[in-house]
Structures are given as C-alpha cells and as structure tokens.
C-alpha cells in the first residue's frame, strides 16, 4: 500500500525545509528571494554551465569532497584550523559558503561583486604561522589557487557522477571557464579555463600536499563525527562514502582513508545516487496543482 499523496508531499516539504534551513540559515528564504528576484545583469546567464552544476544536488557530495581535498595543503589547512571556526560553528561556515556560491552564481553582478569583496577583506586578515614555522596568508594568490582548483575539481567530479543532467566535455570546459570569473574576483591569478588546464594545475600542486594532523582530524570530524541529528546519520553516511569515493586515490591515501576495492566503490556510488536523489526529491518545488473543473454532465 503506497503513501497517500498528501502525506508524501508533506514529508517532502518537511525534509526540504529542514535541509534548506541547515544549508541556507535562518534568513535563507529572504536571501534566496533577493538573489533570484532582484532585477539586474548577472555574471552568468541562464544557459551557462555553472548554473547547472551549482544548482544540482550533487553539490552536497562535491562539497564534502572539496573540504577533504583542500585540507591536504598544509598552509590552507593551518589557516582553516586557526581562523575559520568550522568545528565550533560548522553549520555557520556551510551557510556562508553556500550563500556565497548562490550569490555569485545566480545573483546580480553588483551583489556578486560585493560578496567577493567581503571575502577578500576576510582573507586579508587571515595570516599566521604553521606548527613547523611556515608563514601563511589566506590572500596569497598561490594558496587561493589551490583552494579554487580543489573545489572546482570536486564539484565537477560530483556532477559527472551524480548530476541530474551531466554535461558533455564542452559543457564542463564551460563550467571551468565560468568558475574562473569568480576566482579572479577573489584574487586567483590565471585560474584554469578548461578541463585540461584544471587537471594540469591540480597535478602541479601535488608536491606541496600532505596530510597534517589537522587534516586527518578534519577528515575524522567530517566523516565520523559530524554535528547532525541522529535521524540524519544514515543518509549522511551514504553521502560521506560517496564523497570519499570521489577523491583521487592519492588523496585518499594521504588522508589515511582505506583504499576502496571495486565492490566497495560500487556500493559507495549506489549510496551516493540514493543520497543525492533523496536530496533532489526533497528540495524540488512541488508540482503545479491542477485547476478545479466542474464535473462533466451525465
């Protein structure tokens, strides 16, 4: 016996509302309205690949993958550990990041520019020294470049695997080019503009990467001890397994995560499809209601 349509619709609305509140924060509804309803030119038109990728539920898996991958640069990880407060306020950090992505992808050009300026101002204040004496500053274009390529590579991998409408190679080239527009506003120098450039840039950073104690603790926090209600633990576990499977094998090895034999990879991908499909269902707008019509004459 199936669920009554009204019950399923209520369930979808409750789940979607809770997910949106967690990701967008208490002012998310107002922020969404401002982003999408404010008239004016945008950085990206409605047909641009960045809108397809950043508007898809695969971003939930890709975001986790990006955090794990970004943590492998010791200077980037030191900056996050010392200044971001992600452990004390992980949901706040997620909400700020998701709002920035939404504003720069879908918002007006003026709002996108102001959002990038605010992030740059924050980066200017983030500087310090690692435990082994190396100085870092978040505004360093080279360090910003790592954060950018790790993020774009992760979002792209997730969308290829779990996107509702995966793009062709030309579409993903366009996505990389679109993200370069945002990267330049944040201070990244010569960001990659194609899949081939992205692969080369990611490979060029390999010699600088390695899992510090903070990186391994971050992986443990994200994968084993996330600050989520117990009811969400099972679907989150599916999403986390999918995020780990999306990592390049060398990144999994550096983080001390187990290598995945073929059956485990297949299971992680199945779980990822279930998790992203569930998110997509919960956050989809309701179908239009059919207008009432009088009964036909008998």
Distance separating alpha carbons of residues 29 and 39, to the nearest angstrom: 17
* pTM for the whole structure: 0.90
Residue 31: helix, strand or coil by DSSP?
Answer: helix
pLDDT value for 202: 97
Average pLDDT value for the chain: 89
258: which DSSP letter? Answer: P
- Share of residues in the chain with pLDDT > 70 (%): 91
Residue scoring higher pLDDT (297 or 223): 223
Report the SS3 class of residue 130: coil
Residue 295 pLDDT > 50, yes or no? Answer: no
What are the backbone dihedrals phi and psi of residue 163, each rounded to the nearest 5 degrees, phi first?
Answer: -65, 145
The H or E element containing residue 128 is strand 127-129
**pLDDT tier for residue 80 given thresholds of 50, 70 and 90:** confident
Tell me the per-residue pLDDT of 193-237, one tens digit each, with 9 for 90 and over: 999 999 999 999 999 999 999 999 999 999 998 888 888 889 999
Tell me: the pLDDT tens digits for 231-255? 888 999 999 999 999 999 999 999 9
CA 49 to CA 124: how far, in whole Å? 30
pLDDT-based confidence at residue 28 (cuts at 50, 70, 90)? confident
Residues 135 and 119: beta-carbon distance below 8 Å: no
pLDDT, average across residues 98-121: 97
pLDDT band, residue 86 (cuts 50/70/90): low
Please indicate whether residue 91 or residue 156 has the higher confidence score (pLDDT).
156
- Cross-strand bridge partners of residue 127: 137
Q: Closest Cα to residue 222, out of 11, 65, 30?
A: 65
């Amino acid at each position: 016996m199936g669920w009554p349509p009204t019950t399923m619709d209520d369930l979808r609305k409750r789940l979607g509302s809770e997910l949106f509140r967690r990701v967008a924060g208490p002012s998310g509804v107002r922020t969404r309205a401002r982003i999408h309803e404010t008239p004016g030119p945008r950085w990206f038109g409605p047909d641009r690949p960045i809108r397809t990728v950043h508007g898809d539920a695969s971003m939930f898996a890709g975001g986790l993958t990006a955090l794990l991958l970004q943590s492998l640069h010791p200077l980037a990880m030191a900056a996050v550990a010392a200044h971001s407060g992600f452990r004390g306020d992980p949901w706040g950090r997620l909400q700020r990041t998701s709002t920035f992505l939404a504003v720069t992808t879908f918002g007006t050009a003026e709002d996108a520019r102001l959002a990038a300026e605010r992030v740059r101002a924050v980066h200017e204040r983030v500087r310090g020294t690692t435990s082994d004496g190396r100085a870092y500053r978040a505004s360093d274009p080279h360090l910003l470049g790592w954060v950018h390529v790790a993020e774009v590579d992760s979002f792209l991998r997730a969308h290829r695997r779990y996107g509702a409408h995966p793009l062709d190679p030309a579409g993903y080239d366009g996505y990389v080019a679109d993200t370069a527009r945002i990267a330049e506003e944040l201070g990244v120098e010569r960001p990659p503009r194609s899949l081939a450039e992205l692969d080369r840039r990611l490979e060029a950073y390999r010699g600088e990467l390695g899992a510090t104690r903070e990186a391994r603790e971050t992986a443990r926090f994200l994968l084993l001890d996330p600050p989520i209600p117990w009811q969400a633990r099972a679907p989150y576990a599916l999403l986390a397994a999918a995020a780990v499977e999306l990592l390049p094998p060398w990144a999994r090895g550096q983080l001390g995560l187990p290598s995945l034999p073929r059956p485990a990879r297949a299971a992680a991908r199945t779980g990822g499809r279930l998790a992203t499909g569930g998110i997509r269902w919960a956050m989809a707008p309701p179908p239009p209601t059919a207008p009432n019509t009088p009964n036909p004459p008998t």
